[in-house]
Amino acid sequence: MRIGLIDYGLDVQTSITCARLADALGFSRYWFTEHHAPADPWGSAELLVATIAMVTKRVRVGTGGSLLHYHNSLRLASDFRLMSLLFPDRIDLGLARGAPLLPGNRRRLYVEQNSDFDLAAREVNRLLSDSGTVDDLSVPRALPNHPASPTVYVLGSSAHALTSARALGVCYVHGLFFGGTLETVRGLLDPDRDIVAIAGMCGVEDSHAQRSLASDVRGIVPSVVGSASECIRVMEAISRAANGAEVLFLDMSLDSKTRQRTLVQLAAERSRTEGQFAGAGTKDA
């Protein structure tokens, strides 16, 4: 079973520390969420992707995901093409719906031409797929003019989102964060391309994790709260139900030491149950 991670930021230094640790422990990927609330430690997940790729060696790095309604498609595609050139076969671009929580940021960041998510996602994917010579200089081109490109994912929690990803020819992440279930996509996920994303908390003992769980983490619904063995058991069950797809884990704990301990415990438990921690860091999921 492949396990990746989503960072729902505490602070930038914790993210750097945890990403390096995840890289050393063999996790498959390390993604950053994009949010725009007053307490968020970053507003540009893309800059963190480049930073983390520089200080790690093998773990895939990406966004989970870039809020497409609030990005210029050409700029986004160009940024990720350049990162893919600098860090070959290690960059992921997750495309997500959603809105900044601050009304002022919503008004300032909103990109009118990206109001239709499916059309905007198609344009980003077109820009990333086009690396040939174009004589017409009026045609938008993602730079640099190089075939390097990230692995693109559509993030969602419904059969419609999966259908959108398939129509685009890109990968899909099915999120269980906000009460979603696997029933809507059961039997439809491709383990070589798709991922299931869950949230939870891993404690030394189940009771410790229960006591540590934050009462309000922006409406996120945990799929598991318990010991490392319980977390791995639930991840394995979810992966099996999703045709063997990779599991992406969002740690809901709210301090740096707990997050680092969680990574070590999950890796150790995975090693204990399977004999090795199968990270598959350079394999596209």
Is 252 inside a domain boundary? yes
Nearest to 174 by CA among 199, 155, 187: 155
Residue 98: which domain range? 3-274
Q: Is 231 a domain residue?
A: yes
Residue 280 lies in a domain: no
Handedness of CA 49, 55, 56, 57 (dihedral sign): positive
Residue 95 in domain: yes
**Whether pLDDT at 109 is above 60:** no
Q: Which residue has the higher pLDDT, 83 or 205?
A: 83
Phi then psi for residue 224, to 5 deg, are -155, 140
Summarised one tens digit per residue, pLDDT across range 127-142 is: 999 866 666 666 788 8
Q: Which amino acid is at 271?
A: S
Instruction: Please name the residues in contact with 1: beta carbons below 8 A apart, sequence gap of 6 or more.
Output: 235, 236, 239, 244, 246, 247, 270, 274, 278
Give the count of domains, the chain: 1
- Domain of 89, CATH number, reads 3.20.20.30
pTM: 0.89
Predicted local confidence at residue 280, as pLDDT = 45
Structural domain includes residue 283: no
Judge whether 281 lies within some domain: no
Lowest mean pLDDT among 98-107, 200-209, 224-233: 98-107
Per the domain annotation, does 38 fall within a domain? yes
In a domain, 105, yes or no: yes
